[in-house]
């Protein structure tokens, strides 16, 4: 960019970066959700599938709802960028919300898988480690809160 426009170029690239990274997070959450459903249907405890236990079913629902609420936030970034508009606030809101939901969904997946959730063969433990880093990269969630507050005029 031209001299004096470095912040504008940086902010634009961060909008794109956050949108792309968050799309990946959504994909992981969707995969985890599908794996948890499959596991809960097939894992038997006390003569029935663990999916029949309300606490397990509720935990899986608690993974589904944030996934569905996160998708439109990420799509909005792409739509705004496609329209040639700024998506700074939307990218920060999405990054904050999606990364927090990502971590919680991974914790729910570990809980659903129980002891298997810690085993490297299941990949769930690696997903959790990756999710924690999503709260840090591309601007920490504390920075996202600062950006959102500033954009709200606070």
Question: Which residue numbers are catalytic?
Answer: 17
CA atoms within 13 A on the CB side of 34: 6
């Amino acid at each position: 960019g031209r001299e004096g426009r470095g912040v504008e170029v940086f902010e634009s690239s961060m909008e794109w970066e956050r949108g792309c990274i968050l799309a990946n997070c959504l994909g992981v959450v969707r995969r985890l959700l599908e794996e948890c459903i499959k596991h809960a249907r097939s894992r038997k405890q006390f003569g029935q599938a663990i999916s029949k236990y309300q606490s397990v079913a509720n935990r899986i629902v608690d993974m589904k709802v944030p996934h569905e609420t996160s998708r439109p936030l990420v799509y909005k970034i792409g739509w705004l960028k496609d329209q040639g508009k700024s998506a700074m606030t939307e990218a920060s809101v999405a990054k904050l919300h999606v990364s927090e939901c990502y971590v919680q969904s991974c914790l729910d997946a570990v809980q659903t898988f129980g002891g298997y959730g810690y085993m490297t063969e299941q990949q769930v433990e690696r997903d959790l480690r990756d999710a924690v880093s999503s709260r840090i990269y591309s601007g920490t969630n504390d920075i996202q809160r600062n950006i959102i507050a500033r954009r709200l005029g606070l």
